[in-house]
Amino acid sequence: RTMSAIKKWFEDKKREKKFSRIGPGQRLCDSSTQRNAQAAAAAASSASTPRLAPSASAARAGAAALARLERAEAEKKAPRPIGGLRGSGLRTEADVRQVIQQEQQDRQLAVDRFSEPVEINTDAAPVLAVKGVYFKCPLVSPESLPWEEWKPKIRQFLAEQMGQDSALCAAVAIRTLNPADRAEECAQTIAKYVNNVLANPGEQKYRRIRLGNAVFQQRVHPACESALDFLLACGFQRQAGDSGEDFLVLPPEADLEALAAALECLQTAEGIEPLLDRCTSLLEISPGSAASVANRVALPEDFYSLTPEELELERLRLRQAAESEEMLRTRQMRERERQRETRRYRFCLVRVRLPGGRLILQATFAATEQLADIYSWLRDECLEASAATAFRLVSPDKR
């Protein structure tokens, strides 16, 4: 009974809810015409009710909403901005590319401006009073040649001397034909090979050097010129292994004393280095020509006029200088900018006016030489062995 009563209660609730959704009740005696007239009268009364005017804040909010809608419609019709740049004012891909290029140029300019100083090594000044810088090497040839022409001559000279003492010539070639650091690294590596053989003469593994070994190739051959010739001169022989690889093998009958002597030659050898030829020359100033010395080089009028390209470069330089002054920089950054490009000349031309004023002695010196070298040069050129060696040099500013 209890369950049946609960079920009946739920059914009554459902029925009431269903009737409540149907709407207001109607009289059964009313016709459909009367019902339609009552609905029209209710609609007319609601329509005749006056609408309140919006407040000032509501009007401003509505205007802002309309403006947002108009902007949204305009953005749909306009070219779509490139990803991530909405609101930056860039509408097309060309604009974006131009901005990116400008940023790259500014970044590179900042790197160049505040990077480490660039060292430029030059043999001499652009306007030369001599034909060039020459060197001499009496051991090889009596000629006086530029530096780049001496290396093939020295290589040929050492190759011709290989038949007399091949180990010594190869050691000198290693020191001469390679940079100093590479030659020293090669000599240290070969010393390890040879010392292992001398310390363990019966060990076969120390008498074999695999030519394909990475360390051997990076430090000895082919990294260092004439290194293989030195090992062959020490008694090593080139042989092919069972796997097809090439080896340098020191035979059992090799003379270990000669091997030790060859190693000593390599460790104590010095390279053949050409010496600077001073190219001493005597210049004579004819009477009355002192005033015309400064006007010896005649330049055309257009030499002093700037081309449009030069004017544009000058304008860019001034603009960069103005931008640099506006930037906040540390003392170190300003120092780097001042020393961004330093010139270091390797050689210089020295002229000494001799007593009397008519003769000038000229010679080429290395830029690293001292004033004592000029005194020594003058003693060798101007004074006899029996003459007094006391003299003074006066600088152009009378010091």
Domains held by the chain: number = 2
Is 15 inside a domain boundary? no
- For residues 142 and 267, state if they share a domain: yes
- Residues 238 and 244: beta-carbon distance below 8 Å: no
Of 229, 250, 275, the residue at which a domain comes to its end is 275
Pick from 52-61, 100-109, 226-235 the range whose average pLDDT is largest. Answer: 226-235
- For residues 266 and 347, state if they share a domain: no
Of residues 58 and 172, more confidently modeled: 172
- For residues 287 and 259, state if they share a domain: no
Distance between start and end Cα atoms, the chain: 137
pLDDT of residue 243: 79
- For residues 280 and 237, state if they share a domain: no
Could you give the strand order of the β-sheet that contains 134-137, starting from the edge strand earlier in sequence? Answer: 141-145, 134-137, 275-277
The 3-class secondary structure across 211-279, one letter per residue, is: CCCHHHHHHCCCCCCCHHHHHHHCCCEEEECCCCCEEEECCCCCCHHHHHHHHHHHHHCCCCCCEEECC
- For residues 146 and 247, state if they share a domain: yes
Q: Could you tell me the pLDDT band of residue 86, with boundaries at 50, 70 and 90?
A: very low
75-85 exposure pattern, b = at least 16 Cβ within 10 A, e = fewer: eeeeeebeeee
Q: What are phi and psi of 145, to 5 degrees?
A: -130, 160
Query: In this predicted model, what pLDDT tens digit does every residue of 334-381 receive, in sequence order?
Result: 777 776 655 667 888 899 998 887 888 999 999 889 999 999 999 888
Spatial distance between the Cα atoms of 230 and 169, rounded to a whole number of angstroms:
8
pLDDT of residue 81: 46
Is 14 inside a domain boundary? no
- For residues 286 and 250, state if they share a domain: no
Of 229, 245, 275, the residue at which a domain comes to its end is 275
- State how far the alpha carbon of 254 is from the alpha carbons of 11, 163, 198, 207, 313, in Å: 120, 19, 11, 10, 70
Lowest mean pLDDT of 97-106, 122-131, 202-211, name the range: 122-131
Nearest CA among 259, 244, 258 for reference residue 207 = 259
- For residues 255 and 385, state if they share a domain: no
- For residues 206 and 234, state if they share a domain: yes
Spatial distance between the Cα atoms of 38 and 40, rounded to a whole number of angstroms:
6
Is 380 inside a domain boundary? yes
In angstroms and rounded to an integer, the radius of gyration of the C-alpha atoms of the chain is 49
Sign of CA dihedral 326, 332, 335, 336: negative
Specify the pTM. 0.54
pLDDT of residue 324: 73
Is 371 inside a domain boundary? yes
Give mean pLDDT, residues 138-165.
90
Is 51 inside a domain boundary? no
- For residues 282 and 242, state if they share a domain: no
Mean pLDDT taken over the chain: 77
Domain that holds residue 360: 276-291+342-398
Of residues 118 and 174, more confidently modeled: 174
CATH number, position 199 = 1.20.58.2190
- For residues 210 and 282, state if they share a domain: no
pLDDT of residue 223: 93
Spatial distance between the Cα atoms of 363 and 344, rounded to a whole number of angstroms:
19
pLDDT of residue 85: 42
Of 231, 248, 275, the residue at which a domain comes to its end is 275
Which uninterrupted H or E stretch holds 4? helix 2-20
DSSP β-bridge partners for residue 350: 363
pLDDT of residue 399: 84
- For residues 249 and 352, state if they share a domain: no
Q: Where are the alpha helices (DSSP H) in 48-146?
A: 56-77, 93-113
Is 262 inside a domain boundary? yes
Give mean pLDDT, residues 301-305.
63
Is 333 inside a domain boundary? no
Is 163 inside a domain boundary? yes
Q: For residue 145, is pLDDT > 90?
A: yes
- State how far the alpha carbon of 290 is from the alpha carbons of 115, 287, 307, 356, 393, in Å: 46, 7, 34, 13, 21
pLDDT of residue 303: 59
- For residues 141 and 271, state if they share a domain: yes
- Residues 351 and 360: beta-carbon distance below 8 Å: yes
The angle formed by the CA atoms of residues 112, 115 and 116, to the nearest 5 degrees, is 135
